[in-house]
Amino acid sequence: MKIIKTFTFVLFTVFFLSFSQTEAEAHSGDLHLGSTGQQVTELQTLLKKLDYFHVDPTGYYGPITEKAVARFQHDFNIPSTGYTGPLTQNKIDQVKMMARTVHGEARGESYKGQVAVAAVILNRIDSAHFPNSTYNVIFQRNAFTAVNDGQYWLNPNRSAYQAVRDALQGADPTGGATYYYNPAGVTDTWIFTRDVVTKIGKHYFAN
pLDDT tens sequence across 150-165: 999 999 999 999 999 9
Domain 89-206, classified CATH 3.30.1330.40, yes or no: no
Top-level CATH class of 29-84?
mainly alpha
Q: Domain residue spans in the chain?
A: 29-84, 89-206
Instruction: List beta partners, residue 11.
Output: none
CA dihedral 110, 115, 120, 123 (to 10 degrees): -160
Question: What is the model's pLDDT at position 6?
Answer: 46
Using DSSP's 3-state secondary structure scheme, residue 153 falls into helix
> 172 near 119, Cβ under 8 Å?
yes
Between strands 203-206 and 179-181, the pairing is: antiparallel
What pTM value is reported for the model? 0.85
pLDDT digits (tens, 9 = 90+) for 131-147: 999 999 999 999 999 99
Q: How confident is the model at residue 186 (pLDDT cuts 50, 70, 90)?
A: confident
